[in-house]
Every structure is written in C-alpha cells, then in structure tokens.
Amino acid sequence: QSSDYQVREQGEAQSMGYRAFLVGANGKTLSPWHDVPLKSPLGGGEIFHFVVEIPKESSAKMEVATDEPFTPIKQDIKKGKLRFYPYNIRWNYGLLPQTWEDPNHANPEVEGALGDNDPVDVVEIGERRAGLGEILRVKPVAVLAMIDEGELDWKVIAISVDDPKAALVNDESDVEYYFPGTLTEIRDWFRDYKVPDGKPQNRFGLGNKAAGKDYALKVIQETHQAWVKLVTRSVPAGDLSL
C-alpha cells in the first residue's frame, strides 16, 4: 500500500541539491526503483505499483537518480541548468519499479532500438493529481514504443485503480471511448516536447500508435526480467546504483 511509504525531502525544491527519498514504514530509506515491488498483491497479477516522479500539470523534469545510492528523485540537469518541460505535462508521470530497459538489448520488434538504461515510464491518465514520490496502484491499458535519439523508451499508459473510471477502462479501445483523444494527445506530447529546444521530433515504433494491454503486459514482463538480471549482477551495472 502507498501508505506504507513516506517521502523525505532534502534541500530546496527546484534546486540542484533537492532530493526526495522514499522511506519505509520502519523509517528505513528505500529505493523507489529497487525496493518497491513491481506487482501489487491485489489484482490478480495485472495491477502494478507506479512511482510518481512528475505530478500532472507541472513542468519540472523530475526523475529517479539511477546512479545515486537509494536512487532518490531529483530534478534533471542539462548543460548546468535545471531542466523543465517547455509546457506542463497533462498526466501523472513516473516509473514502474523493478523494471529496466537494457541498453544492450536490441528490440527486433521496434527497429532494433536499444533500451534507454532506465526503468519503464508510466503515463497515468486518471483525474487526480498525485504527489511527487507517491505510489499508486495502476492497471496498464496500452503502451507506446517511443524512439528517442535511437533509444527505445517505452511509455506504458495506465490508470489508477482508485480512479472513478478505472473499472470501465481495460484496454486501448476503452481509453478511446472514455478518454477520447487521449492516446493521440499523449503520443503527440512526447513526440514534440523537445522541438522547442531545437531537437527533432521523437519517433514511435509499432505503427506509430499505442499497442494494447496485452502488449503492455509483455513489455512489463520483459523489462522486469532485464531488471532481475541487472540486480543479480548477471549483466554489468555500469554507473547504475543497485
């Protein structure tokens, strides 16, 4: 349960020194990437934990520091400056714990693109704005295969099980029906967000559209297996903190 965890902030918000650490019920510091279980014990195997890095309607580019002990959430830095999106993100955004996109794995279904060396990203479409570091139970309903400068960067689209529409939304066709236009909006947002910085648009595999729930579950399973290999040291960790 998300109530088993608390967020301990260190440093000023929107500063280089800011860190948000995850703390367990016993007061012990935990890694939001490694120590939160991927699967929720409730939900028959298709409900997952989602760690919020960027609350909806905000623009600070917050992310888990994969190379720091306990992998706290910090604001990304580019060219010595704190990074912001050019416009607010309209959904809760974050990661699936205990997943990893292996940078040495070329995906034959997505142009042979290599993983981006991060946990899998989640776009949560529910109505409530979640808090930074909050852990939600979500069900995946679709997935986009974003290709960012040649790297494969999956975007799992999910809905919080506590959302009023959660029971109605089980696959990408339900998203279209109950949240019309949202899948296209998510794809276009991620396609274009780097363009104001003079970068090219991101591209998408799998026919440039969202694949359904079953494909999302397959991606989660494969990237969880990659994480298991990482933490059992059967593949080199590089700079990543385990």
CATH number for the domain that contains residue 51:
3.90.80.10
What pLDDT shows up at residue 42? 76
> What is the per-residue pLDDT for 4?
87
* Residues belonging to the active site: 85
Q: Is residue 174 part of a domain?
A: yes
Q: In this structure, is residue 204 part of a structural domain?
A: yes
Distance CA 198, CA 161 (A): 38
Q: Give the E-state strand segments of the chain in sequence order.
A: 5-10, 19-24, 29-30, 48-54, 58-60, 62-64, 73-75, 77-78, 81-82, 84-89, 92-95, 106-107, 113-115, 121-124, 135-148, 151-160, 203-204, 211-212
How confident is the model at residue 3, as a pLDDT?
73
**Does residue 23 fall inside a structural domain?**
no
Is 12 part of any domain?
A: no
The tokens describing 94, both together, are 């974050």
Distances (CA, A) of 130 to 111, 133, 175, 178, 225: 34, 9, 20, 20, 28
Total of domains in the chain: 1
pLDDT of residue 205: 96
- Number of residues that this document lists for the chain: 242
The tens place of each residue's pLDDT in the chain, 242 residues long, gives 667 899 999 999 999 999 999 999 999 999 999 999 999 987 677 999 999 999 999 999 999 999 999 999 999 999 999 999 999 999 999 999 999 999 999 999 999 999 999 999 999 999 999 999 999 999 999 999 999 989 999 999 999 999 999 999 999 999 999 999 999 999 999 999 999 989 999 999 999 999 999 999 999 999 999 999 999 999 999 999 99
The answer to whether residue 133 sits within a structural domain is yes
For the full predicted model, state whether its pTM sits above 0.75.
yes
Residues 142, 212: contact at Cβ < 8 Å? yes
Task: Find the domain containing 88 and state its range.
Answer: 39-67+77-232
Q: Report if residue 135 sits inside a domain.
A: yes
Determine, yes or no, domain membership for 17. no
pLDDT at residue number 1: 63
Q: What is the pLDDT of residue 201?
A: 94
Residue 195 belongs to some domain of the structure: yes
